[in-house]
Amino acid sequence: MKDVADSLPTYDDVIAAHERIAPYIHRTPVLTSTYFNELTGAELFFKCENFQKAGAFKVRGACNAVFGLSDEQAAKGVATHSSGNHALSLSYAAGRRGIPCHVVMPRTAPDAKKAAVRGYGGQITECEPSTSSREAVFAEVHERTGADFVHPYNDPRVIAGQGTCSRELMEQVDGLDAVIAPIGGGGMISGCCLTLSNIAPNVEIYAAEPEQADDAYRSFKAGHIIADDAPVTVADGLKVPLKENTWHFVSHHVTDILTASEQEIIDAMKLTWQRMKIVMEPSCAVPLATILKNPEVFRGKRVGVIITGGNVDLDKLPWMKG
C-alpha cells in the first residue's frame, strides 16, 4: 500500500483538484424546501451530489486521483477494493481517461453492484468475504498489474477531491452558519474540514452517523480511532472506519458528531423522497435525521446539508415489506 502518499492535502490541492476534475463532474444544484425549513426551524440548503456523475460525490476524489496521474503511471491503471460508490466512481474516472480500473470485491457482493461496476468498465477480481482474503487478493492484483492504489477515503488526492464539494456549496450559498454531512471513513467530512477551515473558518462542521455504526462518534469522544469490525446499518455507505488522514481532519476541525437510529434514518429518507422528490441513499438521510433529532443545535441557522449519493436498489427500499 505504498502508493498512498502519507502527507496531508492542502487547500491548494483542493483548488488544483477543482480545475482538474471540472470537465468530468457536475456542478450539482442546491435545493431548498419550505417544508423542511418549517419542520426544523433552520434554513436548509441541500447540496445534491445524488445528481453527481456515477451517482455520488465519490467521483470528485476518484477523478482527481485518476487525472493527476502521469501518463506512465496511468498506463498501468488504477486499483481499489470497494463494493460501493468508490468502485463505481473510480471505474467511471478510469473509463474517461481510457485506462484500466481493477476492483477487488467480495464474491458475495450483490450482482447489481458488480454489474454497475462492469457497466462503467471496471474489471472485478473476486475475493472471499473476509479482511484477510481481501487484502491477499488485492496484494496479488496490485503486484501483478502495477496499478496505482486509490484508497476510498484515506488517500490525500481523494480528500482534496471531496473538498471541492463544500467549495462549490460556499460559492452557491451565502452566509452559511454550518455544514453537515454523513461520516463513514471520513473522506467527505475531511474534504469539508480542509476547505472550510481555509475559506470559512467560522462555519461549524457537523458529521452525522448511524447509532449502529458509531465508531467515528466514539473515536471523537475518546480522542483516538476506534474501529468496529462489521457494523450493521441500513446506511451501508457508512460502515467503514476512520483512517489516519481522515482522523486528522475530524479530530482537528469537526464541531460535533451526531447520531441517529435506524428507524430515524429510514423515516428521514422516506420523508425526503416524499417532499423533495429526490432519490437518495439511506446514508444521505443521516444528516437530516440528526437535524430533526437535535433541532436546538440548528434552529435559526443557515445549514448546508450534503446529500452524498443516489445509488439505491429500487427493489429493496428499506420501507418495503419482506
Piece in contact with a copy of itself (CB under 8 A), picked from 120-128, 197-205, 249-257, 309-317: 309-317
Angle at the Cα of 225 from the Cα atoms of 221 and 229, rounded to 5 degrees: 110
Kindly tell me which of 199 and 317 has the beta carbon lying closer to a copy of itself: 317
Which residues, listed in sequence order, are joined to residue 205 by a DSSP beta bridge?
179
310 lies in the binding site for a copy of itself (CB under 8 A): yes
Query: How near is the Cβ of 272 to a copy of itself at its closest, in Å?
Result: 9
104 φ/ψ angles, rounded to the nearest 5 degrees? -95, 120
Kindly tell me which of 48 and 213 has the beta carbon lying closer to a copy of itself: 48
CA–CA distance, 297 with 292 (Å, rounded to integer): 10
29 lies in the binding site for a copy of itself (CB under 8 A): yes
- Contacts with a copy of itself by CB under 8 A: the residue count is 23
Query: 289 CB contacts (<8 Å, ≥6 apart)?
Result: 208, 260, 261, 264, 265, 267, 268
x/- track of binding to a copy of itself for residues 256-285 (CB under 8 A): --------------x--xx-xxxxx-----
173 lies in the binding site for a copy of itself (CB under 8 A): no
* DSSP β-ladder status, 178-182 and 204-210: parallel
160 lies in the binding site for a copy of itself (CB under 8 A): no
Query: How near is the Cβ of 297 to a copy of itself at its closest, in Å?
Result: 27
Binding-site member from 4, 21, 25, 55 for a copy of itself (CB under 8 A)? 55
Q: How many CB atoms lie within 10 A of CB 272?
A: 23
1 lies in the binding site for a copy of itself (CB under 8 A): no
* DSSP β-ladder status, 43-48 and 30-31: antiparallel
CA–CA distance, 135 with 141 (Å, rounded to integer): 10
Binding site for a copy of itself (CB under 8 A): 29, 31, 48, 50-51, 55, 112, 270, 273-274, 276-280, 310, 314-315, 317, 319-322
